[in-house]
């Protein structure tokens, strides 16, 4: 399989497995979408991690497929399919972590940007090199990069098509953290573990409120937050969490 998946300790692991480059073919992207959808519906999964087998996370889209496209309309359809799957990840009801190593370029970086949290080992190169091919990013790279890295840096990365280091990616907010080489999966697991022990209902509330924060005026977002705050208080997990704090012990959430 080009995309493998398994669930361990309530963490859903999604592995891109077409080494060495893990180039994202159309079928791979569709597989990712189906797996994410299934894990979203699986109560045994609390958080997902996407990573790559071999030397790279994902070094871009499968360029060989481009030679099979007959016209611009088909090329646009290819972009829309990728955008749909990556938006599906972005709007997931469960956190998705990208654990990057080696290279996250083109479609690979666009996939990572659709995830909620991003880690990269210190040797990782990140970039959108499409202009070097006479193309532009097609999986919402022009839309997400400015939001994450800022408009000025995004334009520089897009126009030059040059990759940046993990350290620089961290400094501009493109990734959460650069980690020592060879430790990215372990660090992603630690992060996933920290999330999976939280109550599922409040994690989902945070996911929903963060999505509204991107589009709603702050007054509307505040109102939704107040409603969710009340709903959270009435959930048994809140009563357990408060009691555990008072008793100086770890909480035992139901979900």
Domain at 137, CATH number: 3.90.226.10
What domain range includes position 210? Answer: 200-246
For 82-185, list the strands marked E by DSSP. 96-100, 103-105, 117-121, 125-127, 164-165, 177-179
Over residues 192-234, the pLDDT tens digits come to 999 998 888 899 899 889 888 888 899 999 999 999 989 888 8
The per-type count for the chain, helices as H runs and strands as E runs, is 11, 9
Q: Tell me whether residue 134 is in a domain.
A: yes
Is the same domain home to 99 and 223?
A: no
Is the same domain home to 29 and 7?
A: yes
Q: What is the pLDDT of residue 214?
A: 84
Domain boundary among 176, 196, 216: 196
Is the same domain home to 89 and 60?
A: yes
- Structure confidence at residue 255 as a pLDDT band (50, 70, 90): low
Is the same domain home to 138 and 242?
A: no
Cα dihedral 167/172/174/176 (nearest 10): 60
Q: What is the pLDDT of residue 115?
A: 98
Q: Tell me whether residue 214 is in a domain.
A: yes
Residues pairing with 118 in the sheet: 98
Task: Count up the domains in the chain and report the number.
Answer: 2
Q: Tell me whether residue 98 is in a domain.
A: yes
Is the same domain home to 56 and 147?
A: yes
Cβ contact 123:179 at 8 Å: no
Say what the pTM is: 0.93
Q: Tell me whether residue 251 is in a domain.
A: no
Cβ contact 34:68 at 8 Å: no
Q: What is the mean pLDDT of the chain?
A: 93
Is the same domain home to 64 and 180?
A: yes
Residue 73 burial (C-beta neighbours within 10 Å; 0-12, 13-18, 19+): exposed
Is the same domain home to 234 and 113?
A: no
Domain boundary among 179, 196, 213: 196
Is the same domain home to 207 and 99?
A: no
Q: What is the pLDDT of residue 227?
A: 92
Cβ contact 188:15 at 8 Å: no
Is the same domain home to 189 and 233?
A: no
Is the same domain home to 115 and 96?
A: yes
Return the active site residues: 110, 130
- Structure confidence at residue 24 as a pLDDT band (50, 70, 90): very high
Is the same domain home to 160 and 220?
A: no
Q: Domain of 234: which CATH number?
A: 1.10.12
Nearest-CA neighbor of 157 among 120, 130, 121? Answer: 130
The token pair at 72 is: 């611009």
Distance CA 227, CA 233 (A): 10
């Amino acid at each position: 399989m080009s995309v493998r998946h398994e669930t361990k300790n309530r963490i859903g692991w999604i592995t891109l497995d077409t080494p060495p480059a893990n180039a994202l073919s159309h079928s791979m992207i569709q597989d990712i979408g189906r797996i994410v959808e299934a894990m979203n519906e699986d109560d045994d999964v609390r958080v997902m991690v996407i990573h790559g087998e071999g030397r790279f996370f994902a070094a871009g889209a499968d360029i060989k497929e481009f030679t099979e496209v007959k016209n611009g309309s088909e090329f646009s359809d290819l972009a829309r399919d990728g955008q749909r799957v990556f938006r599906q990840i972005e709007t997931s009801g469960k956190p998705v972590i990208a654990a990057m190593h080696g290279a996250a370029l083109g479609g690979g970086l666009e996939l990572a940007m659709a995830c909620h949290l991003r880690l990269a080992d210190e040797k990782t190169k990140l970039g959108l090199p499409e202009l070097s091919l006479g193309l532009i990013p097609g999986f919402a790279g022009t839309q997400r990069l400015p939001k994450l890295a800022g408009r000025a840096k995004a334009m520089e990365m897009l126009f030059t098509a040059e990759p940046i280091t993990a350290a620089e990616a961290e400094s501009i907010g493109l990734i959460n953290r650069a980690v020592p080489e060879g430790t990215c999966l372990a660090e992603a697991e630690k992060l996933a573990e920290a999330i999976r022990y939280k109550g599922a209902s409040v994690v989902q509330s945070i996911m929903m409120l963060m999505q509204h924060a991107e589009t709603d005026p702050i007054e509307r977002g505040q109102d939704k937050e107040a409603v969710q705050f009340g709903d959270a208080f009435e959930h048994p997990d809140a009563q357990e969490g408060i009691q555990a704090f008072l008793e100086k012990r770890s909480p035992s959430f139901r979900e």
